[in-house]
Chains A and B, each alone.
Chain A
Amino acid sequence: MSEMKFILLISFALFFIGVYGFLTRRNMITMLMAVELMLNAVNINFIVFNKFLYAEKMDGLFFTIFIITIAAAEAAVAIAIIINLYRKFNSINENEIDTLKW
């Protein structure tokens, strides 16, 4: 079990690095990368729980693969959005793009 705790600690750290990055960075690419970090932290969690708690099942693995796929698609969409924002605002700084409100 100690191995599992160790790995969970890593994924915990990874997740909050992602959170920290997402909250502090203003560049959208960086923020996207932070999101990817968080997603990967979740992936690690899935794998770990699958391995140590339900070794006879495959659900965690499937979910991980699923998330990776989605993440890839999401990154593509996100970058497309970012490119469009850049064309419109000449910036990908999140501070300057605040029209997403009432």
Chain B
Amino acid sequence: MVNYSYIALVLIIPLAVFIITGLFGKRFQSFSGILGTAGMLAAACLSYYAAYQYFILGSRGADCAWPTIIALKQTWLQFSPNLRIEMGIMVDSISVMMLVVVTTVSLMVHLYSISYMHGEERFSTYYSFLSLFSFSMLGLVISTNIFQMYMFWELVGVSSFLLVGFYFTKPSAVAAAKKAFIVTRFADLGFLAGILILSFYSESLDFQTIIHRMMDYNGSIFLAANSASFMGASALTWALCLIFIGGAGKSAMFPLHIWLPDAMEGPTPVSALIHAATMVVAGVFLVARLFPVYSQIPAALDVVMYVGAFTSLFAAIIACTQTDIKRVLAYSTISQIGYMMFGLGVSGYWGDKALGFSGSMFHLFTHAMFKALLFLGAGAVIHFIHSNEMGDMGGLRKKMPLTNIVFLVACLAISGIPPFSGFFSKEEILTAAFNHNKLIYAMGLVTAAITAFYMFRLYFSIFWNKPASEAGGHADAHSHGEAPVTMKIPLVFLCLATLVSGFIPFNEFVTAFDKLEVEFHLPLAIAAVSAGAIGIIIATILYLKPSTMPDKIAATLGSIYQSAHRKFYVDELYLFITQKVVFNLISAPAAWFDRNVVDGMMNLIADVTENFSDEVKTFQSGKISGYVMWFFAGAILLSILIVYVL
């Protein structure tokens, strides 16, 4: 067996960078950027080598499945003889793929940030947080143990919190950071409960053991988990649905999506890394990791499918009405992750049925590349023009030629136009959906069209439409060029990745279990491409030149447009629940109750004692004759008692 324990270095390097820049970063501000980037470069090289070793030098096993190798495993915390948290490295096709994705995007973002964040007061803090995030995310994808994953899951959450709140003097950033953490924390509660249930029945926290035991149809463990029922569903179904809630929170599935658009308050490279390419797909990765178990329980997989499909359509509609370019991209991310989710939902486990799984992972890979590209491109635009609003932009294609090209490539990729990467991955998911559930297929197709529309709306509004001089941005006030070279390299690199990655024979490498033979369905491909093309054409008509048509359409749609623009009032609903219900209906009465009733009880006891003593002390009048009277009365009473009663 090949030794993969060097993968530990991929984690240790960012951790070391985090500690060094975190503790001593103040001394050498600008150096921490270079240190972080160099560290990430080393980690990326190691990951590429691991991928080479695994996919190229290695091969499928006797059962046609890619082998799962445990490179390292160390008990970290022993709960009971059966249950223990182990820290380890699991090498299988999806974890190696994720290693490549995370290190690549992270490296690009590290490099890009050197100039993007230049001159920032907390530059080294920024890099230490970035390294912390990279460490946590890498730890998440190589987890061997569900609790190990939960730990890193929490850590990515907190690094996201710290990075979103990086500009902590801005109240909106503070609110966004809190929202991001609390919403995902709420979802993690589901994850934790799911882990508790799953671990109780499978008597293990180890992924392989859990999967092995739960795949055994006739094993007592599977039967026990599947027969114990609570409120009409089996314990296993509950566990999987709860775990999916955790995944849905991180991956911003409806109705837990509200934090992601707000999280755009963070620096743009952070949005590219965390909120587009890596952390938000953790939920997809979680479902994929436990996919063998999910595939046993169709009900749980249906939940994944419907939630994913609905979210992708829902977010796509909202994206059409947003004017902040980062928010458009955020909703587009939500929508694309919905795609991945329902890709998993429509998939089976064995053989050709597993097309959805492979497609979903493929889309995760391609999406990471082109979405990171879109965000970094948007970052370049924002860097240039100092505004997030579409209204302030326009006609930038002359001023930012490189950005224009890479942005166009990315838009074509996300719209599913061949030969760009998005086409291939979307096509697979849609084919899988077509084979499984026609309704989901229809939703996916509509989403594809809408996606193409809003992406090109975005593209035209930035680079075409009105000439730059008319736009309200401050582009002219700046003499600096399009972007420094450290920002251009990542753009070009990711652009190349977007162009090339579609041609990777992904089904060879990443499957749910065994080999997957896919036939190419020409009609389905034509349908998907034409959906994308329709979207692009509509966007071209409306936004290529300045026109009043979009406003007119918005006015005609009236309340529908308004509610989409206001994100269907989900935020308001949450605000209502937190402010009115939690704060005013639970917390405030509880605080009142505590001060007045519980504490009042204690004070009451004290008061009663005090009043009683007030009464008693009047006997102590200081009048000696009074005392003597009492004394004699008592003496006489006592003698009567003694003589006559006792």
Direct contact of A and B (CB under 8 A): yes
Q: Which residues of A contact B (CB under 8 A)?
A: 19, 22-23, 26, 31, 94-95, 97-102
Residues of A within 8 A of B632 (CB): 19, 23
The 8 A-B pairs at the shortest CB distance, nearest first, are namely A98-B622, A101-B622, A102-B617, A101-B620, A100-B622, A102-B620, A94-B624, A23-B625
Q: Can you show 24 pairs from A to B with CB atoms below 8 A apart?
A: A19-B628, A19-B632, A22-B625, A22-B628, A23-B625, A23-B628, A23-B629, A23-B632, A26-B625, A31-B624, A94-B624, A95-B623, A97-B622, A98-B621, A98-B622, A98-B623, A99-B622, A100-B622, A100-B624, A101-B617, A101-B620, A101-B621, A101-B622, A102-B620
Residues of A within 8 A of B624 (CB): 31, 94, 100
With the chains together, A31 CA to B624 CA distance in Å? Answer: 10
Tell me the count of chain B residues lying within 8 A, CB to CB, of chain A.
10
CB nearest to A22 among chain B residues: B628
Residues of B within 8 A of A26 (CB): 625
With the chains together, A59 CA to B632 CA distance in Å? Answer: 27
With the chains together, A31 CA to B627 CA distance in Å? Answer: 13
Minimum distance in angstroms from B611 CB to a CB of chain A: 14
Looking at B620, B624, B628, B629, the one whose CB has the most chain A CB atoms below 10 A away is: B624
Residues of B within 8 A of A101 (CB): 617, 620-622
Minimum distance in angstroms from A4 CB to a CB of chain B: 19
Minimum distance in angstroms from B636 CB to a CB of chain A: 10
Main secondary structure of the interface of B (DSSP, over half): helix
Residues of A within 8 A of B628 (CB): 19, 22-23
CB nearest to B624 among chain A residues: A94
A-B contact count, CB below 8 Å? 27
Residues of B within 8 A of A99 (CB): 622
- B605-646: CB near A (< 8 Å → 1, else 0) gives 000000000000100111111001100100000000000000
Minimum distance in angstroms from B612 CB to a CB of chain A: 14
CB nearest to A102 among chain B residues: B617
With the chains together, A98 CA to B623 CA distance in Å? Answer: 6
Q: Is the CB of B625 within 8 A of A94?
A: yes
With the chains together, A95 CA to B632 CA distance in Å? Answer: 19
Residues of B within 8 A of A102 (CB): 617, 620
Minimum distance in angstroms from A80 CB to a CB of chain B: 17
Minimum distance in angstroms from B455 CB to a CB of chain A: 86
With the chains together, A101 CA to B617 CA distance in Å? Answer: 8
Residues of B within 8 A of A98 (CB): 621-623
* 18 more A-B residue pairs beyond the given contacts A98-B623, A101-B621, A102-B620, with a C-beta to C-beta distance below 8 A: A19-B628, A19-B632, A22-B625, A22-B628, A23-B625, A23-B628, A23-B629, A23-B632, A31-B624, A94-B624, A94-B625, A95-B623, A97-B622, A98-B621, A100-B624, A101-B617, A101-B622, A102-B617
Residues of A within 8 A of B622 (CB): 97-101
With the chains together, A99 CA to B621 CA distance in Å? Answer: 9
Minimum distance in angstroms from B338 CB to a CB of chain A: 78
Minimum distance in angstroms from A32 CB to a CB of chain B: 11
With the chains together, A23 CA to B624 CA distance in Å? Answer: 9
With the chains together, A26 CA to B628 CA distance in Å? Answer: 13
Looking at A19, A99, A102, the one whose CB has the most chain B CB atoms below 10 A away is: A102
Minimum distance in angstroms from B414 CB to a CB of chain A: 86
Residues of A within 8 A of B629 (CB): 23
Residues of A within 8 A of B620 (CB): 101-102
Minimum distance in angstroms from A77 CB to a CB of chain B: 16
With the chains together, A98 CA to B626 CA distance in Å? Answer: 11
CB nearest to B613 among chain A residues: A102
Residues of B within 8 A of A19 (CB): 628, 632
CB nearest to A95 among chain B residues: B623
Minimum distance in angstroms from B628 CB to a CB of chain A: 6
With the chains together, A97 CA to B627 CA distance in Å? Answer: 14
Minimum distance in angstroms from A1 CB to a CB of chain B: 19
- B168-197: CB near A (< 8 Å → 1, else 0) gives 000000000000000000000000000000
With the chains together, A22 CA to B635 CA distance in Å? Answer: 15
Minimum distance in angstroms from A8 CB to a CB of chain B: 15
Residues of A within 8 A of B621 (CB): 98, 101
Minimum distance in angstroms from A102 CB to a CB of chain B: 5
With the chains together, A102 CA to B628 CA distance in Å? Answer: 17
With the chains together, A102 CA to B623 CA distance in Å? Answer: 12
With the chains together, A5 CA to B620 CA distance in Å? Answer: 39
Minimum distance in angstroms from B351 CB to a CB of chain A: 94
With the chains together, A32 CA to B625 CA distance in Å? Answer: 12
Minimum distance in angstroms from A66 CB to a CB of chain B: 21
With the chains together, A31 CA to B623 CA distance in Å? Answer: 13
CB nearest to B621 among chain A residues: A101
With the chains together, A99 CA to B624 CA distance in Å? Answer: 11
Residues of B within 8 A of A22 (CB): 625, 628
CB nearest to A98 among chain B residues: B622
Residues of B within 8 A of A100 (CB): 622, 624
Minimum distance in angstroms from B102 CB to a CB of chain A: 77
With the chains together, A102 CA to B622 CA distance in Å? Answer: 8
Residues of A within 8 A of B625 (CB): 22-23, 26, 94
With the chains together, A98 CA to B617 CA distance in Å? Answer: 14
Residues of A within 8 A of B623 (CB): 94-95, 98
CB nearest to A100 among chain B residues: B622
CB nearest to B623 among chain A residues: A98
Minimum distance in angstroms from A14 CB to a CB of chain B: 15
Residues of A within 8 A of B617 (CB): 101-102
With the chains together, A102 CA to B86 CA distance in Å? Answer: 69
Minimum distance in angstroms from A45 CB to a CB of chain B: 14
CB nearest to A34 among chain B residues: B628
CB nearest to A35 among chain B residues: B628
Minimum distance in angstroms from B533 CB to a CB of chain A: 97
- Which chain B residues numbered 521 to 572 have a C-beta less than 8 Å away from chain A? none
CB nearest to A97 among chain B residues: B622
Residues of B within 8 A of A31 (CB): 624
Minimum distance in angstroms from A27 CB to a CB of chain B: 12
CB nearest to A25 among chain B residues: B625
With the chains together, A57 CA to B608 CA distance in Å? Answer: 55
Minimum distance in angstroms from A19 CB to a CB of chain B: 6
CB nearest to A16 among chain B residues: B632
With the chains together, A22 CA to B632 CA distance in Å? Answer: 11
Minimum distance in angstroms from B12 CB to a CB of chain A: 74
- Which chain B residues numbered 137 to 152 have a C-beta less than 8 Å away from chain A? none
Minimum distance in angstroms from A72 CB to a CB of chain B: 22
With the chains together, A59 CA to B624 CA distance in Å? Answer: 33
With the chains together, A26 CA to B621 CA distance in Å? Answer: 16
Residues of B within 8 A of A94 (CB): 623-625
With the chains together, A94 CA to B622 CA distance in Å? Answer: 9
With the chains together, A25 CA to B624 CA distance in Å? Answer: 11
With the chains together, A99 CA to B617 CA distance in Å? Answer: 13
Minimum distance in angstroms from B554 CB to a CB of chain A: 82
Looking at A19, A94, A101, the one whose CB has the most chain B CB atoms below 10 A away is: A101
With the chains together, A22 CA to B617 CA distance in Å? Answer: 23
